[in-house]
Every structure is written in structure tokens, then in C-alpha cells.
Chains A and B, each alone.
Chain A
Amino acid sequence: MEKTTVKKIATRDAYGQVLVELGHENPDIVVLDADLAKSTKTAEFAKVFPERFFDVGIAEANMIGMAAGLATCGKIPFASTFALFGSLRVADMIRNSVCYPNLNVKIAVTHQGLTLGEDGASHQAVEDIALMRAIPNMTVIIPADATETKKAIRAAANTHGPMYIRMGRPSVPVLFDDSYEFEIGKGVQIREGNDVAIIATGVMVHIALEAAELLAQEGIQARVINMATIKPIDEEIIVKAAQETKGIVTAEEANIYGGLGAAVAEVLCEKHPAKLRRVGVQDTFGESGKPDELLQKYGLTAENIATKAKEMLK
């Protein structure tokens, strides 16, 4: 299933493309942005469907409220900005205007986590997964590559309910071809192995595959699971991994508190206690730098994942 291609596409670019496709297919799709249309790539949709695109200016709270209103009238609004401004900035609006009435609003954010890069800590959302996961009715999805982004956005458009879809700024390897099947709420095993399991999301998925390569060189077979949906989490695939391997490493581009690692820990504690190590941002703010430098400095690397995996085999 995984391919050894080196082709790289940013998930936000795939988002811009699939929005245009959806715009042609479904006249109810509307798009909102808060003065970041060129960066989030909603500008692609704006070019083709100017009458269904609303740039509200730098007013994210108003954007979420307008999206909620549009949804009450049967529209399928995609509201986009950077991850930070589409989550922490507007947490109460999302909770009370979107999730409480269970409206069909898709909050599709880009520039997630540390790999936003040079803009630095003020713009690097590492808390958004935890926050969005805590709101009832919310679905949280983090696609790993361009292919999965397109499929996830399509699934979001075709499934009722509030969703938070988190995408990235830099180009990342294309891991999947068109035969890849995406289903909301389902993890996908993308590499076999019964010594340890690595459960990763978003940009960390291709890094998890690298970690599995490193481990294989030492004779350790690591299973890799792409967990694109953080909520609702795929409990079955987690329990199976716990039963069939000696321990689990989670990997995410976010604070270890409240994110993927925490979600996996919750499932394990209740269903099948097992060894667990969490690779992620260790409860700290980020900083300016190039995406790769930041992943390195904050330990979001294949080497670190491999080290954590080996700890559990001792």
C-alpha cells in the first residue's frame, strides 16, 4: 500500500484542489476564510466560485458564527484559517455556535503544529487536537498526505456534523495512491510487524515509516498504523496492536497532553493495558525555524521513535 515514491505535495495544496472539485459537484458547498485564502489555498475555490466564497477579513470569531448560520440553512461551509486561529482563537464559538447545535460546519485548518515554521510559537498550534477532541459532537481528522487529504475532505463533505480537519504548510511525501481507502473513524495499518507498533498521525506518519525502517535494520519488526481520525478513535485497531506486539509508540505533531498519545492511552488503560511511549511536543511552546529543524529540535524524528520503541523491548 505504501509507495516508495519521493513525490511531495503539501496537504493544504491538496485541500485547495479538492475544494474546487467539490464545488463543481455540490452547489451547497460554500467556503469562508479570514484573510488567509492564499495560504490556506481556499483562493483556488474563490477563483472558480466567487459567489460562494466569503472572505470575512481578520475576524475568525465572526467567520465561525457565519459558518454556523450558513449550515442552519443547508449549506456545507468549509471555514479555513491557520490551525491556531481556527481552534484556540474561537474555541467558545465552535463549542456553542457549532457543536452544541451539532451543525454541519467543517473547520478545515492549515499550518498545523511546529512545521508552520518561521512564524514561530505565536502561530504554532500544538494544543488544538486536545481542545477540539474535548468538545462533544466534534470529529477530528489529520490526513497524512495529499491523497488522504482529498479523500478525507470528500468524506467530511458527505458526512453530517462538525469536523476539525488539520492540514500542513510544507510539502510532505505522497504515501498513498488512489486505491487507498479512507473511512472516518478507522485507523489503517500501513506496515506489518509484531514486535512493536507505531501509531502516528499527520506529518508523523511518513516519519513513523522511516522509524520502522531503522528498526528493521536492527531486526525489529514494527507495525505502523496511520491514525488519521483522532476522534472518534479506532479502539479496535489499538487493542489489536496491544495484543499482538510488545508495546506502542504514538507520534504526533502536537503537545503530548490531550492529543493522539493521550487518546491511545485512554483506550489502553480501559481495554488492554500495555506499554506505551508518546512522541510529540513535550508540553512546551515552539519557536521560529525551518520545519525540519523544528522537528529535529523537538524530538519529532524517526530516531526518537525508534529509541522509544526499543526502550519497551528491554
Chain B
Amino acid sequence: MSTIAEGKLAELKQRANHIRQEIVKMVAAANSGHPGGSLSAADILAVLYFHEMNVGPEKVNDPDRDRFILSKGHASPVLYATLAEKGYLPKEELATFRRINSRLQGHPSKKLLPGVEQSTGSLGQGLSTANGMALAARLDKREYRVYALLGDGEIQEGMIWEAAMAAGHYKLDNLVAILDYNHLQIDGNVEDIMDIGPVADKFRAFNWHVIEMDGHNIEEIVAAFAEARTVKGKPTFIVAHTIKGKGVSYMENACGWHGVAPNEEQLKQALAELCAQGGDK
């Protein structure tokens, strides 16, 4: 099934690992922020920025660049860490996260940080922006693609379903929405709070092409994005089965790690675990 070379696969795994390390460091340094939902999305962002998308610091104003919107804006650490890994900003700057006068706001600010395509944080709004970008590409006859990452709690917002209807209606086949299906939101399990299932059927009914994948398996992520490129006349919805807090044992599937920073001791353990998973040689 693999559509990438061994070397590329190893690189993407290492990128995701670096991103995870920066996430926990950044949140610990700020003593504030959202590690759980950032860690669950690290593999997806690694593949998007280092394999799938036509982007880079030299292209921030290129009209043909691909666009990524972090609709679940509280996961800003994963975006900042990925942008730093890609060279949009120096890694040292990650230590300013959430501090006064920083470009790295609690939730991403388009005006402050080049590479951030839309300001997000008020949940439920990113998919509508993505629709607009995808429609603009069609109007301008440009080839770029648009990607939006949604939280599973986030899609309880009514606005998401308005956007989902519109994307199906306009047959936005240059649009890919990825669902970070980690089954947790702040107050508990998504299934207990307000079940979103059967989410694949719902999006199919809204005229989307739906793909399910393991959101931590690099080869499956690569393959899903490749399949999305072949779909004509429909937007693609990728259900990424993920683990909130992935990579740090005590954060995995733990609701309490949604918006809490690790202390010094916990940070040490997290970094030790991540290093052992093969980040740095």
C-alpha cells in the first residue's frame, strides 16, 4: 500500500517526533496551552507540511500555495511547532508562546505570524473559511488545494454543518477536511457529551467522499491524501482515528490533559519517552 520511499517514511516519522517534542516544551515553558489535541494531530501535520502540501516559508505570499487551516485553533502548539520545523520561524521563538508581545498567540493569529492562513480559536468557523478559499481557487482557475483540521468536539458546532452542506453543494473537490477523531473534548467523552456518530455516514449524506484512516500511521495518512487527489466532484472528509495526547504515556486518552501544562518533572518524562520513540539519533 505504501506510496512513499523508505527514506521519506523515516523522515516523516522523525519530523512528527520533533514536532511532539516542541509541543510539550512549548506548553511547559508557557505553563499554559493545549497539549492533548496538539499531540493527536502531529502525524497529520507532519505529512501535510513535509509531503502533501505545496508550502514553505518562501511561499507565504505565493497565490498558488496550498492552504492549511487549523480550525481547532486551541491546538496552536502543533501548528507553531510544525511551522518552526519547516523554517517559518526560529525554534527559539517557540519559547515565547502565550507570552505578552509574542507572535505566538494562545490561538493562531493570521495578522501576526506569516504562514498562519486564518485566525482561529472560536471553534466551528474554520471550515467555512476553507470553503471560501476552495471556491476562490476555482474562480481564479488555480490548482492549489485547501486543508482544514477539525476537532471531533468542534463539529458539534452548527456552523460546521452549514459549511459541510455548502462544500458538498459546490462540489469542492479541492477541499479536504480532516477530523481529529480522538473521542475527547473538555468535559468528557464526545460520545457521552454529544455523540457525533455515525460521522462518516453523515458526511457521505452531505455529498462528501469519506476516507477512514489511522491518524498515527504515516503510510495511511499519505495514502489518504493521495486518494483525495483522485476524487472529482466532491470534497473529501478524512476521518483520522487518533489518540489524544499521543506519544506521551500519561497524556494518552486522558481528558485532563486537554488544556494543562506539564510541570518540570512531567516534561522530563515526556521528552525521555519521545526520544525513546526515535526522534533524535
Q: Does B263 contact A (CB under 8 A)?
A: no
Question: B residues touching A (Cβ–Cβ < 8 Å)?
Answer: 30, 32-33, 73, 98-102, 104-107, 109, 119-124, 153-154, 156-158, 185-187, 193-194
| A118→B32 contact, CB < 8 A | yes
A58 touches B122 (CB 8 A): no
Instruction: Specify which of A58, A84, A293 is in contact with B157 (CB 8 Å cutoff).
Output: A58
Determine if B100 and A294 form an interchain contact, defined as CB atoms under 8 angstroms apart: yes
Contacts of A299 in B (CB 8 A): none
| Nearest-CB residue, chain B, relative to A62 | B158
- A89 interface residue per 8 A CB criterion: yes
Decide if A123 touches B122 in the complex (CB within 8 Å): yes
Q: What separation, in Å, do the CA atoms of A57 and B186 have in the docked complex?
A: 9
Contact with B along A98-115 (1 / 0, CB 8 A): 000000000000000000
Sort A-B residue pairs by CB-CB distance and give the 8 closest, nearest first.
A122-B121, A57-B194, A289-B100, A120-B106, A57-B156, A120-B105, A122-B107, A119-B106
| Bound-state Cα–Cα, A168 to B104, Å | 24
Nearest CB of chain B from residue A149's CB, rounded to whole Å: 23
Instruction: Give the docked Cα–Cα distance between A121 and B107 (Å).
Output: 8
CB-defined contacts of A62 to chain B, threshold 8 Å: 158
* Set of chain B residues within 8 Å of A37, measured between Cβ atoms: 187
Sampled A-B contacts (10; CB under 8 Å): A35-B185, A39-B186, A55-B187, A55-B193, A56-B156, A58-B124, A59-B194, A120-B106, A122-B119, A288-B102
Note all chain A residues with C-beta closer than 8 A to B124: 58
Interface string of A228-267 (1 = CB under 8 A from B): 0000000000000000000000000000000000000000
B187 to chain A, nearest CB (A): 5
Per the CB 8 Å criterion, the residue count for chain A at the interface is 31
Distance in angstroms between the alpha carbons of A203 and B31 in the assembled complex? 24
Interface set, chain A 24-79, CB cutoff 8 A to B: 33, 35-39, 43, 55-59, 61-62
* Contact status A290-B156, CB under 8 Å: no
Q: Which A residues touch B153, using CB under 8 A?
A: 35, 57-58
- Which residue in B107, B123, B186 is a CB contact (below 8 Å) of A120? B107
Contact of B186 among A36, A59, A117, A288 (CB under 8 A): A36
A271 proximal to B (CB < 8 A):
no
Closest to B196 in A: A57
Q: Nearest residue in B to A296 (C-beta to C-beta)?
A: B100
